[in-house]
Every structure is written in structure tokens, then in C-alpha cells.
Chains A and B, each alone.
Chain A
Amino acid sequence: MLEISRISKSFGGLMAVDSVDLSVKRGALFGILGPNGSGKTTLFNLLTGFLEPTAGGVRFEGNELIGRSPEDIVRLGVARTFQVVRFHKDSTVRETVWAAQSMHLGLRDLFRTIDAPSQRDLAEEVDSILERTWLKPHADRLARELPFGLVRQLEIARALATRPKILLMDEPASGMNPSETHQLTEDIRRLRDGGLTIVLIEHDIEMVMGLCDRIAVLNFGRKITEGTADEVKSNPDVIAAYLGTKKKHAHA
């Protein structure tokens, strides 16, 4: 579904992403692991059109993504959540999801109000997304007033509203407490079971190991290995580059 071939990005002389190959199959829950600064977020920025790669290509369902605008890429079905969350300060939770729905809509829908009769299907879609992301009881609160854990959920809700086929999640568990992380793990699994392909960036090893069916490990911009959780865990390079130096809870 998503084919990344020999993609590279250098900033000045530094290779942030160095000739990385990845292949994500439809329905996969793919994890990208690596310490901070290993090029994970840069890789997402390349996939979503925020950065132009120095070399390499990305194909999504047969379409080349490199050279397209972030907007086009979202429209093709590639959604993304961010590590640093930004919201419009005067919008409610419902409005935020409602606005994110606009990507696929025609001009006529843009001129409709949130409660217009012709918009009932779209309003129901918003409701269902809010329900799935535990935001329903907070729908009419301002987005900026949400507690941190729910802000992360709103990120996911906003991404879902763009009707993605694949969801790229950038450290969704960062800043979450263990029970929130556990809930999030369940949510991600449920999204995958609902038919969504998911690529997850994390430095929380345990979360990725427990959740993902395929894992790639990046270090200094290079992919050092790829495989199932067990394969990755026993790879000596991984232990040297990541686990060995940082012990088990590697919160870099």
C-alpha cells in the first residue's frame, strides 16, 4: 500500500534520513522505532509533503507522493497526527472535527452551517468519530481547554475526519500516563481492526513491541533492521544502538 524506496533527506551535510526503504501492507500496524533524532519525524514530514526529499520516492496505492502538496496527500487518504498539537483557539472540539471533514467536500458544503439539514450525514459522521475517540462528552468544550490526554484524542479525531486509508501517528503516547497509554493502545488496535492501516512512530519500545505486527528500527537516519517484534528484539544491532545503551525504558 505504501512503498518507500531509498528515500533520503540531508540538512546541510547531515543525513537526517539516509536511503530508507519501507513497505507497509494494507491493514498493517507498522511501527517505526528509534531514539529521538533518529529521523522518524523527518521521515513523516517527507511522506506528507512537508519536506522535499533529497532523493528517493514514495508510492501510495500507485500514486507518487513526492512533489505533491500536503493538502493533496491528505486528499489521497494519508492522514497524520502530530507530536506537537496545535488547535484553533476559539473552536470547540466538535467544530475542529467538523472543519477537518472539509477536505473531501464540494464547494457547496463549505457554505453550509454545522446544523443545516443537508449536512445531517456529515454531522452524524462527526458524532461517530467523537464517540470512537472518547470525545463525545466534551464535544462542545473549547479544544484548547481539553486535558492533555484528550487533546491527543482530538488529534486522532481530526485525522479520522479526513477519511484516511492510512494513518501516520507521530508519538501519540508522548506525555500520556500509563493508563492513558493503555487506552490508546486499545484504540489504535480497534482502528486497525476497523480497516485502517497504521504507521506508528514511537520511542516507547514496550508500546510498539506489544502493538505492532511489523517494526522497523531507525538510528542516525538509517534503517538498521526490520521484522516482527521478536526478530527486532533479538537483533544485535538494535541492542547495541538502542536497547543496550539506554536500558529497557529508553525515554530519550
Chain B
Amino acid sequence: MYFFAIDLTQTTIDGLLFGSTYALVAIGFTLIWGLLRILNLAHGVTVMVGMFAGMLSATIIGLPFYLGILISMCAGALVGFLIDRICYRPLRAAHELVPMIATLGFWILIEEVFIKIYSKFWFRDYVPFANPFDGAGLEIGQIRLRGDYLVTLAVATLLVIILYFLIYRTRLGLAMRMIAEDHDIGSLMGVPVGRVLTTAFLLSAAYGGAAGYLLGMTANLAGPYAGSQAVVKGLFSMILGGAGSIPGAIVGGLSLGVLELQSSFLFSFAYRDAIAMLALFLVLIVRPQGLVGKRTADRI
């Protein structure tokens, strides 16, 4: 019983640490959802591109961790720029489903093209991703905190603090909050809506890129399907926590991390996703607005 309790605690802590990557992905989703009411399905592409940019810089070039993260964020942001210019801007006057379908198309197109290119270079489903923190860790009594998980949590925390600073202290953030509340009214409030939204896409995508790096590093692997997986995990986290809410994205991401590892530990790895989905289903029956979302769509 004692060892079971230790293992349970260990799994929960691992889940919380690892869940911070999901939280980062969910933040990217929730920013765009909160501002535009668009499900940016192309968000997974930013994660995949971030992961491969990280793999190139960490494994192939051998750059240090912090530079790799920055490169991944820039690579992600570049994808975000394209999403804004291709999927959102030309279609913003159309029905809100139209840009969402455009992001779906963007996702499928980029992923397919990437897989074709990928399979010319590598003949495996995964390529190794250098993990400088592999084996490192912190022992607290019987509990062990994995070094790469701790770094992941630290990066995610730093990015969340930066995001909160941007949203609650800067002119950009105020403009974003105004647009989120009333999308049509932004430009007549003197807010440069187009520029603010482009910045939001860049920000959202940069966070996706960082998540891609961290996901690759903690798994020691980079794979071309990482983007699709991230879309599922990120959407799950966002909806579990409450769509459009940043605290919701964080709570949702961390909960998903714990849920996944606990269901692998308590039941079986094979049922991991099924159990997570069941949990989401039960939460949504009780709280349709998500764990921390407010009933009256109070966005961002």
C-alpha cells in the first residue's frame, strides 16, 4: 500500500509536469478561439514545425537548449504568420466556419507535404531528439522529479508569466481583451484590429513551437504526426478547462497530463486515450463550460 501511494504520487507529479506541454498547446488554441471564435485546426502544424526546428537545432546542429527553444518559437511564429495570411485574412468577412475549414485544409496539406519530404530523408517513423537533461533529476524522498520535466515546467511557467504580462499590462493586451469582448467594435475603438490579430496568431504559434520543442525533447523523439496528436491533446485540454480561458487552458493541460499517466498506471496504456475521453465526457456533463470556464463566455 505504501509503495502504491508513492507510485500514485509519482505519477501525479509526472503528469502535472508533463501536462505543462499540453497547457502550452491549449493556450495557443484558446488565444485564437477567444479572440476570433475560430478553431485554429492548423495549430498542430506550429507544434510539428517547432518540434522539427528543435530537432534540427538540438540533434543535428547541436545548439544549446535555450537557443533551440527560441528557434522553435520563431519557426512556429512563421507558421502562425502563414495561417493568418492564408487562412484568416482573406476569409475574415466570410462565415466563421470558412476560416476554420481553411485551417483544416492548411493542416492536412502541410502535414502531407511534410510527410513526403520526411520520408525522403528518414526511413523511420521517428527521429531522435537530443535531450540534454536525460537522466538528470531531483530526488525528494521517494519521489523523483525528472530533469527534462522540470525544465519543461519552468519554460511553460515563464511563457505563461510573459503571456499574462502581455495581456494585462500592455497596450496590445488591452486591445486583445477589447477585441475578444466585442470583435466588431474593435476598430471603432481605435484598436488596429488587423495588426493585433496578426500578433495574436504569431504569439499563439510561437507557443505552439515551444510546445513542439518540449514534446520532442521529453519524448527524445520527433515524428511527423506530432502535429495531429497535438491538435487532439490541445483541443481536449482547452475544452476540459474551458474554451477561451487562459487559466482554463492551463488547468485543462495539467489535468490531461495527470489523467493520461494515471490511466496508464492504474489501468493500461492501451486505454489511456479512452479513459481521458471518458473523463472529458463526464466533466462536460456536469460543467459544459469546462472546469474553469465561465458560463457567459467571458473570453481571455
A residues lining the B interface (CB < 8 Å) = 48, 69-71, 74-75, 79-80, 82, 86, 88-91, 95-96, 98-103, 105, 107, 109-114, 158-159, 161-162
Contact = CB atoms under 8 A, between A and B. Distances in A.
A102 B170 contact: no
Interface stretch (B143-151, B190-198, B207-215, B278-286): B190-198
B187 A102 contact: no
9 contacts: A82-B188, A88-B178, A95-B174, A99-B190, A101-B190, A103-B190, A103-B192, A107-B195, A110-B170
Given A90-B177, A99-B175, A158-B190, A110 B199 contact: yes
Interface in B186-229: 187-196, 199
Interface of B: 166, 169-172, 174-175, 177-178, 181-182, 185, 187-196, 199
Nearest to B202: A107
A96 B182 CA distance: 14
Contact of B172 (A48, A103, A111, A158): A111
A143 B172 CA distance: 19
Contacts of B169: 113-114
Contacts of B181: 88-89
Q: Most A CB atoms within 10 A — which of B169, B171, B175, B178?
A: B171
Nearest to B92: A69
Contacts of A74: 187-188, 190
Nearest to B185: A86
A99 B188 contact: no
Contacts of A103: 190-192
A80 to B, nearest CB: 7
B161 to A, nearest CB: 14
Nearest to B194: A71
A179 B196 CA distance: 40
Given A96-B189, A102-B192, A107 B171 contact: no
Contacts of A99: 171, 174-175, 178, 189-191
Contacts of A113: 169-171
Contacts of B182: 86, 88
A88 B177 contact: yes
Q: Interface residues of B: mostly helix, strand, loop or mixed? A: helix
Contacts of A71: 187, 192-194
Contact of A112 (B170, B175, B194): B170
Given A86-B182, A88-B181, A90-B177, A112 B171 contact: yes
A111 B177 CA distance: 14
A100 B187 contact: no
Nearest to A91: B174
A111 B166 CA distance: 7
Given A107-B199, A110-B196, A110-B199, A161 B174 contact: no
A107 B182 CA distance: 22
A114 B173 CA distance: 11
Contact of B171 (A82, A88, A110): A110
A128 B194 CA distance: 28
The 6 A-B residue pairs with the shortest CB-CB distance in the complex, in nearest-first order: A100-B190, A110-B172, A71-B187, A162-B190, A88-B178, A70-B187
Contacts of B172: 110-111
Contacts of A114: 169, 171
A70 B174 contact: no
Contacts of B196: 102, 110
Nearest to A96: B189
Contacts of B185: 86
Contacts of B199: 107, 110
A91 B178 contact: yes
A100 B192 CA distance: 9
Q: Most B CB atoms within 10 A — which of A70, A102, A107, A162?
A: A102
A82 B188 CA distance: 9
Contacts of B191: 99-100, 102-103
Given A71-B193, A110-B172, 18 more contacts: A70-B188, A74-B190, A82-B188, A86-B185, A88-B177, A88-B181, A91-B177, A98-B171, A98-B174, A100-B189, A100-B190, A102-B190, A105-B192, A107-B195, A107-B199, A110-B199, A112-B171, A161-B190
